[in-house]
């Protein structure tokens, strides 16, 4: 599981993916101080996560807001990037073809741009589902290629 600062930043800025997250047991997330935690159980009935904000209260009726950034595991990224109606082996082949293609600098193949599979899978997902590419520490629309 990638817990690097760069992966946290990529996930924070991948708002399209963050919006889809419903916390469940085994999910990893980062707090604003970059501390990494894991969900030990499904969503607590006294805690609600909406748009990556944990909304909770204690017995004193004080409401607490805590920003949580979901750090998808590789299996979750594979599931999110599956193309409907296409077998796992074909989806894997499409990912490998993407990995061999040149990235946004038109020089470096995608497989050499990232040091973990989570970063590569997240970039692949963002490109295929949301037409965004990771370049210079931000997600750029592929319709407006960075200079």
How many Å apart are CA 109 and CA 113, to the nearest integer? 7
Q: What is the mean pLDDT of residues 103-125?
A: 96
- What is the pTM assigned to this prediction? 0.84
In tens, the pLDDT along 50-90 reads: 545 455 556 666 655 678 999 999 999 999 999 889 999 99
pLDDT, position 14: 98
Annotate 69-87 with b (16+ C-beta within 10 A) or e (fewer).
bbbbbeebbbeebeeeeee
pLDDT, position 40: 86
């Amino acid at each position: 599981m990638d817990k690097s600062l760069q992966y946290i930043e990529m996930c924070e800025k991948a708002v399209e993916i963050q919006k889809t997250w419903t916390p469940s047991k085994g999910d990893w997330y980062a707090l604003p101080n970059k501390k990494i935690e894991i969900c030990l159980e499904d969503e607590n009935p006294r805690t609600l996560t909406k748009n990556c904000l944990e909304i909770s209260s204690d017995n004193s009726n004080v409401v607490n807001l805590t920003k949580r950034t979901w750090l998808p595991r590789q299996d979750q990224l594979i599931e999110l990037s599956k193309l409907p109606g296409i077998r796992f082996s074909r989806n894997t082949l499409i990912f490998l073809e993407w990995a061999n293609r040149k990235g946004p600098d038109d020089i470096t193949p995608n497989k050499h741009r990232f040091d973990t599979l989570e970063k590569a899978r997240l970039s692949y997902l963002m490109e295929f589902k949301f037409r965004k590419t990771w370049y210079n520490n931000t997600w750029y629309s592929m319709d407006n290629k960075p200079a």
